[in-house]
Amino acid sequence: MRIFNRFVMAACAVFCLSATLSATDAVIHGVVTDAAGKPVRGAIVKATAGDVTVSRYSQSDGRYEISVPAGNYDLSVEAYGFAAKRQKLDAAQAADTNFSLSPRLDLTRLSAADIDALLPDNAQTRMIRAACISCHSFDRIMNRRGSTSAQWQEFLPNMTGDRRMFQPKYSPDELNKLGAALEKYFGPDSPYFGPDSELPTTGQIQHAEVSDAALKATYREYRVPTPDAWVHSVAVDPARDIAWFAEYDYQSNKVGRFDIASQKFTEYPVPSPKSVPHTPIVGKDGRLWMPLDAVNLSAKIVSVDPTSGALKEYKWPEKSAGTHTIAVAPDGNLWLSSMSSSDEFFGFDIETEKFKAFKHPVPAAYPEDSAGAYAQLPGKPTGITYAVAVDSKGNVWYTEWLLGLIARLDPKTGAIAEFRPPSTPNMDGIMVDSRDNVWFSDFMGNKLGKLDTKTNAFTLYQPPTAKARPYGLVEDSKTGYIWYGDFSGNNITRFDPKTAQFVEYPIPTRGAYPRFIGLDSKGRIWFGEWWSNKLGMLDPGDSQTVASR
């Protein structure tokens, strides 16, 4: 306990700067224009002091304002189609800090969705999308553009370095096919991405403009104490103002906590080494629950008491499969998906502390329009479950990741029903709203999906970003809005089911890879920036009104 207390005190001391953001006594302001002096709308202006960044957008007249504590800041501005600029300043200065941006199209600064939209849709690009776009996206592939098939094949089996647990395994045939596809579209002679290729025009890039509604927003980003923690997913306890997050790396191996009012971090080491904490959820009694994704580990989940900070592991020696995502049933018990079990998912009784496995059917072959077929995976399909949710009646809904299926389990009878959304190769997120509609992320199909459980009818909605990849979903019950993290578009996105309108809020840090997200009591969205080692918060900045039903 002494070691734990010293760790908490150190973490709080390191992040004392965060607490100062509660007091605002300076405004950084100015105008962003192009080389001709015309205002640049929708530029992201970031003010960074230490481990905290506050960002806002320039308005239609090019003006921006960022409220911060007095002090010295690194100020930067980025806008699509322009070169970035930065400078240092004292926030107490009264004068405008203006930026004049020069036109420049830099492929390395495009979002992964922008890059994706430049590729054709065929068997080879579908294989790349299915094989490569899960841990990262096309912006990471761009780091090795110009590589030949042989160079790709040499790199891919060792690309995770010392994080071997995350290393995909390829057969020689798979490696040869994937290397050839990557050479064709990201190799020396590839269109757009080869070293001597002509750049695409801005007209060829399907870049979505920032909407007027998004211009009101403010982002705050906080660097997490542990370096390279891989901040994966977030759940918010709105009653206690806590943002819980997973440090999804076996080297870090911690449950993270951010107290919103004090803006301080605490990290809880998981006793079992290399257990890979995954996606948190807050239980009905206020305890934090988090699955452990590691294979061949008896510990399956952990809980943290928010008052005492006591962390407890729950083990199941009979099962080697890890647990992935988690849902709370109306009775307070838990349901867990598994990415390492081929045909089952799990339940957990919080009173008896016992697990139970539930089998589900797996077809003889991958459906034609599924991620498994796109990846050209050989052999019998696997029915690994990715996301899980529970409706008001206690029915358990889960996604079968490579099969492109949604399934429903009635725990009372054991009956399973399967639903196949149209043009949905896989789904990374699923949520049941307050009316028992099932919402899901059509990840590879680039859409937001809805299943009306009364009629069993599907509706797919296209976001403004053509190659958006919706991920984790959350409903704001006060407004009726559906929020999700856009993995490839690098957005936090709001959808209004009443008007079918989207608002996309571009994240200031490129390649943030938002996954499962949380909503606090003030309508702000909290999310992890997986490869940036940050916890992010979006304040949409507009009035929150209750949506009519």
**To which residue do tokens 């080494």 refer?**
273
CB 445 within 8 A of CB 460: yes
In this predicted structure, the answer to whether residue 395 has a pLDDT above a threshold of 80 is: yes
In this predicted structure, the answer to whether residue 120 has a pLDDT above a threshold of 50 is: yes
Residues 126, 346: Cα–Cα separation, whole Å: 31
CB 537 within 8 A of CB 219: yes
- Indicate the SS3 state at residue 418: strand
CB 159 within 8 A of CB 119: no
Mean pLDDT of 424-430: 96
Question: Which pLDDT band holds residue 379 (cuts at 50, 70, 90)?
Answer: confident
Mean pLDDT of 269-281: 96
In this predicted structure, the answer to whether residue 38 has a pLDDT above a threshold of 80 is: yes
pLDDT cut 90: percent of the chain above it: 87
Six token digits for residue 530? 């997986």
SS3 track for 421-452: CCCCCCEEEEEECCCCCEEEEECCCCEEEEEE
Q: Where are the beta strands (DSSP E) in 224-371?
A: 231-237, 242-247, 254-259, 264-269, 281-282, 288-291, 299-304, 311-315, 326-328, 334-336, 344-349, 354-359
- What is the pLDDT at residue 543? 52
pLDDT cut 70: percent of the chain above it: 94
In this predicted structure, the answer to whether residue 83 has a pLDDT above a threshold of 70 is: yes
- What is the pLDDT at residue 398? 97
Give the domain ranges of the chain: 21-104, 108-186, 213-539
What per-residue string of b and e applies to 421-457 under the rule 16 or more CB within 10 Å gives b?
beebbbbbbbbbbeeebbbbbbbbbbbbbbbebeeee
In this predicted structure, the answer to whether residue 139 has a pLDDT above a threshold of 50 is: yes
In this predicted structure, the answer to whether residue 549 has a pLDDT above a threshold of 90 is: no
SS3 track for 62-106: CEEEEEECCCEEEEEEECCCECCEEEEEECCCCCCCCEEECECCC
Mean pLDDT of 461-473: 98
Question: Which pLDDT band holds residue 455 (cuts at 50, 70, 90)?
Answer: very high
Kindly report which listed range (178-187, 337-346, 496-505) carries the lowest average pLDDT score.
337-346
- What is the pLDDT at residue 354? 97
Average pLDDT of the residues of the chain: 92
Residues 129, 136: Cα–Cα separation, whole Å: 10
CB 444 within 8 A of CB 488: no
- What is the pLDDT at residue 9? 36
In this predicted structure, the answer to whether residue 22 has a pLDDT above a threshold of 50 is: no
Residues 444, 404: Cα–Cα separation, whole Å: 10
- What is the pLDDT at residue 313? 98
In this predicted structure, the answer to whether residue 479 has a pLDDT above a threshold of 90 is: yes
Q: What are φ and ψ of residue 149, in 5° steps?
A: -60, -45
In this predicted structure, the answer to whether residue 351 has a pLDDT above a threshold of 70 is: yes
Six token digits for residue 247? 């440090």
In this predicted structure, the answer to whether residue 7 has a pLDDT above a threshold of 50 is: no
- What is the pLDDT at residue 143? 92
In this predicted structure, the answer to whether residue 118 has a pLDDT above a threshold of 70 is: yes
Mean pLDDT of 13-23: 39
140 burial type by CB count under 10 A (0-12 exposed, 13-18 middle, 19+ buried): middle
Mean pLDDT of 168-195: 94
Could you write out the DSSP letters of every residue in 249-279?
A: -TTT-EEEEEETTTTEEEEEE-SSTT--B--
- What is the pLDDT at residue 11? 40
Region of residue 263 (left: phi > 0; alpha: psi -120 to 50; beta: else): left
CB 67 within 8 A of CB 24: yes
- What is the pLDDT at residue 24? 56
Whether the domain at 21-104 and the domain at 213-539 fall into the same CATH topology: no
- What is the pLDDT at residue 94? 78
Residues 197, 163: Cα–Cα separation, whole Å: 34
In this predicted structure, the answer to whether residue 442 has a pLDDT above a threshold of 50 is: yes
In CATH, which of 2.60.40.1120, 2.40.30.10, 2.40.110.10, 3.10.129.10 is domain 21-104? 2.60.40.1120
- Please report, for residues 26, 508, 537, the alpha-carbon distance to residue 59 in angstroms, rounded to integers and kept in the order given: 19, 16, 20
**What does pTM read for this prediction?**
0.93
* Residue type for position 390: V
Residues 433, 135: Cα–Cα separation, whole Å: 27
- What is the pLDDT at residue 79? 97
According to CATH, the superfamily of the domain at 213-539 is YVTN repeat-like/Quinoprotein amine dehydrogenase (2.130.10.10)
Beta bridge partners of 220: 54, 537
- What is the pLDDT at residue 21? 40
- What is the pLDDT at residue 245? 98
Sign, CA torsion 224/226/230/231: negative
